[in-house]
Amino acid sequence: MTHAAATVDQMRPPYPAERGLDVYNTKLGMWVFLASEVMFFAALIGTYIILRFGAPGEWAKPGIVLNIKITAFNTFLLICSSVSMVKAYAAIQDGDPKKMRFWLLLTILGGATFVGIQVYEYIHLIEHGFVPSGVREGSELAELVAKGQLPAATMGLYGSTFFTMTGFHGFHVTCGVISMTYLYLTKALPGKYTKQSYGGIETVGLYWHFVDLVWIILFTIVYLI
Amino acid sequence: MTTVAATAHPAPAHHDDRSFIRKYVFSTDHKIIGIQFLFVSLFFLLVGGLLAMQMRWQLGFPGKPMPGGGVLPETMAPGGVILPEYYIQLVTMHGTFMVFFAIMPLLVGVYANFLIPLKIGTHDMAFPRINMWSFWSFFAAGLVMLASLFVPDGAARAGWTMYAPLSARHDLSGASFGQEMWSVSIILVGLSSILGSLNYITTIINNRAPGMTWFRLPLSVWSLFITAILGLLALPVLSGAAIMLLFDQIIGTHFFDPAAGGQALLWQHLFWFFGHPEVYILILPAMGMVSDIIANGSRKPIFGYHSMVFAIVAIAFLGWIVWGHHMFMSGMNPTLGSSFMVSTLVIAVPSAVKTFNWMGTMWRGNLRFTVPMLNAVAFVAMFVIGGLSGIFMAATPVDMFIHDTYFIVAHLHYVLFGGSLFALFAAIPYWYPKMFGRLMHEGWGKVHFWLTFIFYNLVFFPMHILGMAGHMRRIYDPTQYAFLQPYQPMNEFISISAFLLFATQIIFFVNFWWSLKRGKPSGLNPWQDNGLEWTLPSPAPHGNWERVPTVYRGPYEFSSPQVPEDYLPQTRRLPSDREPAAASAARH
Amino acid sequence: MHWWLPLKGSTFAGEVDGLFLAITIITGIAFVLVEVGLIWFVVKYRQRPGRKAFYTHGSTRAEVIWTAIPAVTMVALGLISNHYWVRIKGRNSVPPNAYPIAIHAKQFEWQVTYPGPDGKLGTSDDFTVRNQLHVPVGRPIVVRLTSEDVIHSFFVPVFRVKQDAVPGMDINAWFQATVPGTYELGCAELCGLGHYRMRAQVFVQSQEDYDAWTKQAAQEASS
Ligand code: HEM
Ligand SMILES: [Cu+2]
Ligand SMILES: [Cu+2]
């Protein structure tokens, strides 16, 4: 074995290795990372469930506090961006970098718009008096609470969980948009992705679908029920 | 004897022309990162120890001015007399530093980084840059935690377990900024651990050398692998909880504030859901490394390799369903308590299996009492005590009495000091040669071992008795209680032993520093071990192997009848060995 | 100073101490087995020149044995412990005739509310005393624990009773004192800088003494 293998192993993969999962490192790394993300969101969502079921009295009414229509549109947008991500991936698998760039750009735009709308939503909510600690005194919502249309006892919990969960989701979307933009500028534009090599697209795609999935869960439990 | 061989070994072919900063500061080399973790966390170990000494002074000699305490500001110890508000900061910071900044990084940060690529035969981690970030976020976390001791109102004050609402509301704890810094620091620790774990897991799955099949991995690598999985899944829960705690502290959310509908027990569930896997993060790597060292020191294959692996896996699975044993008295549903009791008792079984297998390994061996071996055997002897005292606490009716007493303190120190730290006192001198090319001084190592072993037991064994008397933990002045006054001589005895124990550690630190420059050059394989790392020069070069080695057997082939020597390296090819598929595939 | 457990002051104490002793015996056997074994191996198999260790990878039979024995012991221990646990802390364990006392924990004191002559809490003859717990001997007592601010823990070592008092929760703990005398109640959960001095006296009295004290204390409280 002294000289035969010398050309194969150059301190850089692929060098001969025992068979692992037959998944390249970055992709495997992303799967592993997403496992930890699952636990992170499980902690936040679990907290929400526990607080909601143990709440002193009736839970806040999302329909009154939030603007569900605009967020429903936002959800649709995020789902679309997942679809365009799949398209980008399919395009590069077919060896069509131009089409891939188009779909990737569309995904980035979708993600960025989502974040933009979320920021708008936050500003709007805070103006109306919905804040992480509950309801701001002297605001529009405070009046509704005073009239008994919203439960005073649980608004604080709703604010805490709503802003924490959606905020951290928004942070994840932002990270996704930044990474995709980075890959777009440094890899996709210079034409480094080819039919043979598209690991970055696949890996960031995994992340993107995960973020999308988390949003669908959050939208359902925070906005709808 | 092997020094000559070291020079005869071919130098790494590629030229290492990285700048000093890239080489030693923002290094992506797994070995340098491991060594960075080693220096920083040894420093934090010292900090944690100093905090403990102050606590022991107060407990042994309540209300008396502490020698040297005059340097502390009025807000901590006016005239050298420790204040209650400073005492609870000491309690909190001692636990926090020891768990998050000493034992955990010493075991995982140092040895997962240093050992995994060397032992599985690869050039570096799968993601070296992420690995570097893992170190730097740990470093930042440590700085924040350290700085919190010096801010106005002092450090966090709610114990390392940070029970809410005491931790969540400044008006209840009296701390302010320090409490928030604790949360920030813990979030960073979580990030560091997640980045590290994701690296270890990917590397072990994908980058093993040809022939290094799963069941040829050393137990140290197995346990680090399982530890990484625990860290990957447990730390995000802690980070999530710490984020919510931080929000309660600074932006007025109400997660843990019952006054506004939040739930106090929610924190405990989140914390211990992380916390119990965490205690296994703090012991599994120790068990793994001790297994390697005991097999080497006994010159015998590990007894029951497969059941050792299954025991690790079993502990990791069961570790997720026992967290409630920290909450038996919390007002949690007692029926839940019953199921947590049973799962906790069951988790003692794999620990027992491991203990018996270590004994089986020593049985009919040819035991060499090097410093690593002495400490490894002491690990077994001490871990047993901690494991057995765990059974008392797992039995809920007994826990009703001993929960939150010194019995718990005794238990956790038998597993963490007697267990994890003794394992580190074995591992540090054992792999020191591969890090620095020299051996630590053997004679002083033995002096340190014996004194530590004696004083350690004098400090912590009597704590069982205190616990059985009902001595509560985390109390500033036990003499407040009439029923504890008769135990004051014992507290005094423990304190004096603790000072001696601390003084003994100076020997270790001096030996460590002295040997860096003056230690005996070690050569390639000073312990005559079979692992891949011992085929490399000491210290191991950047990139480790020019060409990854090929593995022909498991790591514990000591005293094999196939060869005249009493060890048989994993890379040595005997005429009867076949080439592994991966190696031959690469050649064609 | 005792080297073993303190005075048995309640009906639980015998059960808890008995279980403690049983576990001490079981773990003691394991402890001696392991430590003596280790010392024996260390002496007997220490390195001698020219000797080679016995080459073996294990023995399935031995491993099955030393897995099965601890497993069976642990499950048995769990079942026995659970029997006592259900009687002490189970949801329905509080005896129906238990005498109620409310304890409100607060940084850093115990506010003990007694039911007064009518034996019922929540009536106008209730009265509250700080840091003094008086209980009649030989009668089941149910303590209704609440907390004002942070988590505290109600702990009377001689009764072997411990129960956290959690803000936002209402927790019942019961016990029955068996030996008249004066004891101490401590806080077992870190609750702030005054945790160490969050202490109360416990007076276990005969029913007559207790009634007499109640009458007097109720008067003092109302005046
Ligand atoms: C043999 C298996 C073990 C059993 C049955 C066991 C059982 C327990 C139980 C029931 C408690 C809670 C006691 C109470 O607060 O009332 C506890 C506490 C603790 N255990 Fe273990 N344990 C075991 C092994 C370990 C190991 C291996 C470690 C760490 C390396 C460990 C570290 C701790 C720590 C740090 C605490 C105290 C946490 C705190 O409240 O600050 N234990 N153990
Ligand atoms: Cu635990
Ligand atoms: Cu307290």
| Residue C118 burial (CB count, 10 A) | 10
- Answer whether B97's CB lies under 8 Å from B51's CB: yes
Distance (Å, whole) CA B554 – CA B547: 20
Q: What CATH topology corresponds to C13-89?
A: Helix Hairpins (1.10.287)
Which three-class secondary structure state does DSSP give residue B472?
strand
Yes or no, beta carbons of A25 and B194 under 8 Å apart: no
Q: Quick check: CB of B391 below 6 Å from ligand 1? A: yes
Structure tokens at B14: 């590629």
Question: Does a structural domain hold residue A106?
Answer: yes
We report the CATH number of the domain holding residue A219 as 1.20.120.80
Phi then psi for residue C91, to 5 deg, are -55, -40
Using an 8 Å CB-CB cutoff, list chain B residues near C51: 366
Phi then psi for residue C133, to 5 deg, are -110, 110
- List the one residue out of B215, B183, B192 whose CA is nearest residue B281: B192
| Residue B376 burial (CB count, 10 A) | 29
What pLDDT score was predicted for residue A15? 67
What pLDDT score was predicted for residue B4? 35
Yes or no, beta carbons of A50 and B210 under 8 Å apart: no
Q: Which residues of B279-311 are buried (b: 16+ CB within 10 A; e: fewer)?
A: bbbbbbbbbbbbbbbbbbbbbbbbbbbebbbeb
Q: Is the dihedral of CA B97, B101, B102, B107 positive or negative?
A: positive
What pLDDT score was predicted for residue B16? 65
Distance (Å, whole) CA C29 – CA C38: 14
pLDDT digits (tens, 9 = 90+) for B21-46: 887 888 999 999 999 999 999 999 99
| Cis peptide upstream of residue A56 (ω within 30 degrees of 0) | no
Yes or no, beta carbons of B579 and A1 under 8 Å apart: yes
DSSP string, B40-100: HHHHHHHHHHHHHHHHHHHHHSTTSPPTTGGGS-TTT-GGGPPPHHHHHHHHHHHHHIIII
What pLDDT score was predicted for residue B555? 96
Question: Is the Cβ of B368 closer than 8 Å to some Cβ of chain C?
Answer: yes
Half-sphere exposure of A84 (CA within 13 A, CB side): 19
What pLDDT score was predicted for residue C7? 95
Structure tokens at B482: 């009439």
Number of domains in chain A: 1
Give the containing element (helix H, strand E) for A43.
Answer: helix A25-53
Amino acid identity, position B64: K
Question: Is the Cβ of B336 closer than 8 Å to some Cβ of chain A?
Answer: no
Amino acid identity, position A203: T
Question: Does a structural domain hold residue B98?
Answer: yes
Question: Does a structural domain hold residue B508?
Answer: yes
Question: Is the Cβ of B176 closer than 8 Å to some Cβ of chain C?
Answer: no
Q: Kindly tell me the burial class for residue B578, based on how many C-beta atoms sit within 10 Å of its own C-beta (0-12, 13-18, 19 or more).
A: exposed
- List the one residue out of A126, A223, A79, A111 whose CA is nearest residue A178: A111
Distance (Å, whole) CA B127 – CA B125: 5
What pLDDT score was predicted for residue A11? 54
Distance (Å, whole) CA B382 – CA B375: 10
Distance (Å, whole) CA B443 – CA B440: 9
**Full domain range(s) for residue A89:** 23-58+68-126+162-224
- Answer whether B357's CB lies under 8 Å from B290's CB: no
**Full domain range(s) for residue B427:** 27-520
Low-confidence ranges of chain A (pLDDT < 50): 1-8
* Helices and strands in chain C: count of H runs, count of E runs: 3, 10
Structure tokens at B81: 């007399």
What pLDDT score was predicted for residue A61? 87
Distance (Å, whole) CA B9 – CA B2: 11
What pLDDT score was predicted for residue B23? 79
Question: Is the Cβ of A191 closer than 8 Å to some Cβ of chain B?
Answer: no
Give the containing element (helix H, strand E) for A134.
Answer: strand A134-135
Low-confidence ranges of chain B (pLDDT < 70): 1-16, 583-588
Using an 8 Å CB-CB cutoff, list chain B residues near A9: 545-548, 586
Structure tokens at A225: 């029920």
ipTM passes above 0.90:
yes
Amino acid identity, position B215: F
- List the one residue out of B379, B499, B375, B371 whose CA is nearest residue B444: B371
Structure tokens at A27: 């992709």
pTM here is 0.95
**Touching B: C residues 40-59, CB under 8 Å:** 41-42, 45-48, 51-59
Distance (Å, whole) CA B184 – CA A152: 31
Question: Does a structural domain hold residue B51?
Answer: yes
Question: Does a structural domain hold residue B9?
Answer: no
pLDDT digits (tens, 9 = 90+) for C96-142: 999 999 999 999 999 999 998 888 999 988 999 999 999 999 999 99
Q: How far is CA A170 from CA A76, A130, B108, B129, in A?
A: 15, 18, 32, 26
Yes or no, beta carbons of B208 and A20 under 8 Å apart: yes
Using an 8 Å CB-CB cutoff, list chain C residues near B483: 6, 157, 183-184
What letter does residue C178 receive in the DSSP assignment? -
| Residue B468 burial (CB count, 10 A) | 22
- Return the CA Rg of chain A: 22
Residue boundaries of the structural domains of chain C: 13-89, 99-222
Amino acid identity, position B405: T
Yes or no, beta carbons of A1 and B550 under 8 Å apart: yes
Q: Which residues of C126-136 are buried (b: 16+ CB within 10 A; e: fewer)?
A: bbebeeebbbb
pLDDT digits (tens, 9 = 90+) for A99-147: 999 999 999 999 999 999 999 999 999 999 999 999 999 999 999 999 9
Nearest CA to ligand 1 atom 24: B387
- List the one residue out of B458, B472, B551 whose CA is nearest residue B119: B551
| Residue B5 burial (CB count, 10 A) | 12
Structure tokens at A186: 């440094």
pLDDT digits (tens, 9 = 90+) for C168-197: 999 999 999 999 999 999 999 999 999 999
Which of C147, C150, C155, C201 to probe by mutation at the B interface, max B CB count within 10 Å?
C150
List the beta strands (DSSP E) in chain C.
99-106, 109-114, 127-130, 132-136, 140-147, 152-156, 161-165, 171-176, 181-187, 199-205
Pick the residue from chain B with its C-alpha nearest to A20: B206
- Answer whether B179's CB lies under 8 Å from B139's CB: no
Q: Per-residue confidence at C219, pLDDT binned at 50, 70, 90?
A: confident
Question: Does a structural domain hold residue A11?
Answer: no
Pick the residue from chain B with its C-alpha nearest to C154: B329
Using an 8 Å CB-CB cutoff, list chain C residues near B356: 62-63, 66
Question: Does a structural domain hold residue A1?
Answer: no
Average pLDDT, chain C: 95
Which three-class secondary structure state does DSSP give residue A130?
strand
We report the CATH number of the domain holding residue B196 as 1.20.210.10
Distance (Å, whole) CA B388 – CA B79: 43
Yes or no, beta carbons of B209 and A17 under 8 Å apart: yes
CATH number for the segment(s) C99-222: 2.60.40.420
Question: Is the Cβ of C7 closer than 8 Å to some Cβ of chain B?
Answer: no
Structure tokens at B10: 């071919």
Number of domains in chain B: 1
Distance (Å, whole) CA A2 – CA A10: 15
Phi then psi for residue B460, to 5 deg, are -95, -25
**Touching B: A residues 95-134, CB under 8 Å:** 131-134
- Answer whether C188's CB lies under 8 Å from B405's CB: yes
Phi then psi for residue B424, to 5 deg, are -70, -35
Give the containing element (helix H, strand E) for B327.
Answer: none
- Residue C158, pLDDT > 50, answer yes
What pLDDT score was predicted for residue B15? 55
- Answer whether A35's CB lies under 8 Å from B205's CB: no
